[in-house]
Amino acid sequence: MSICAAIQMTSSPNISFNLLEAEKLIAEAVKAGAKLVALPENFAIMGDTASDNLKAKEVDGSGPIQNFLATVAKKYAVWVIGGTLPLAADDSNKARAACLVYNDKGERVGRYDKVHLFDVNVPGTNEVYRESDSIEPGAEAQVFDTPFGKLGVAVCYDLRFPEFFRTMSKKGMELLVVPSAFTAETGAAHWEILLCARAVENLCYVIAPNQGGIHLNGRKTFGHSMIIDPWGVVLDCYKTGGGFVLADIDRERLEKVRGAFPVLNHRRFFCE
């Protein structure tokens, strides 16, 4: 069995506290049988302002957050999808929102930089987000080889761009991880719908770790971290606060669904 976990947090501006909480939840998920754990977006720091996150940015390959991810992956012999953390960008006034993938030996085997940036006035609220003021976007979809299948990674706002996932599907994606910090308002409206759509249209498993709760900066995130199968069935969901969900990534079921319902083979239009 390939049991995977999506970990939910309500991260704060305190990196040390967040990492302690992340390790506690990772340890609990591993004890429950998880072989892969995925952390949410901004798991290590949810600053009061964007500048707080910038102050925490690390050079690629070195820094306390990256050391933490490598250490817990090796310590618990588990694959770790490192949500997002701020890494140095070409523009010194910005950071990359990077999701790092570590194998169960603590070796880094992949990196994805968030492509689509959340520059939005949230309808029905006074919330305004301008990620592009402090984040430099990535430019490429990434799919990695893992024991659980070919793993695609997307982050939060990426979820709204279906053509992005078709690019990953063309690269053979079987399993999709979506670390997120969906707002309470947009999450209530669209979180589950979008996740299920991505699972169904790409016939893949979706692991979606989200931030969930009221943060010290006043931001409210939706939670409802979940794992979804290729037929769009929600296998497990954790509504609010810190915790995790578990589900088995069944490769035989994936192959059976794709064989009986070969949508991916029927495509007439393809992404570049």
Q: What is the pLDDT of residue 175?
A: 98
Instruction: Report yes or no: 177 and 171 within 8 Å, Cβ to Cβ.
Output: no
Q: Which of 41, 58, 131, 174 is catalytic?
A: 41
CATH fold of 3-266 reads Nitrilase/N-carbamoyl-D-aminoacid amidohydrolase (3.60.110)
Instruction: Return the C-alpha torsion angle 184, 25, 114, 101, nearest 10.
Output: -160
Taking the chain (272 residues) in runs of 10, the rounded mean pLDDT of each run is: 93 97 98 98 92 93 98 98 97 97 98 96 85 96 97 98 95 98 96 98 98 93 98 97 97 94 87 60
Q: What is the pLDDT of residue 271?
A: 62
41 catalytic per annotation? yes
256 catalytic per annotation? no
Q: Note the pTM of the prediction, 2 decimals.
A: 0.96
Q: Which of 94, 99, 114, 136 is catalytic?
A: 114
Q: Is 268 exposed, middle or buried (0-12, 13-18, 19+ CB in 10 A)?
A: exposed
Q: CB count, 10 Å around CB of 146?
A: 20
150 catalytic per annotation? no
Q: Which of 4, 99, 156, 196 is catalytic?
A: 156
Q: What is the pLDDT of residue 1?
A: 63
Q: What is the pLDDT of residue 259?
A: 94
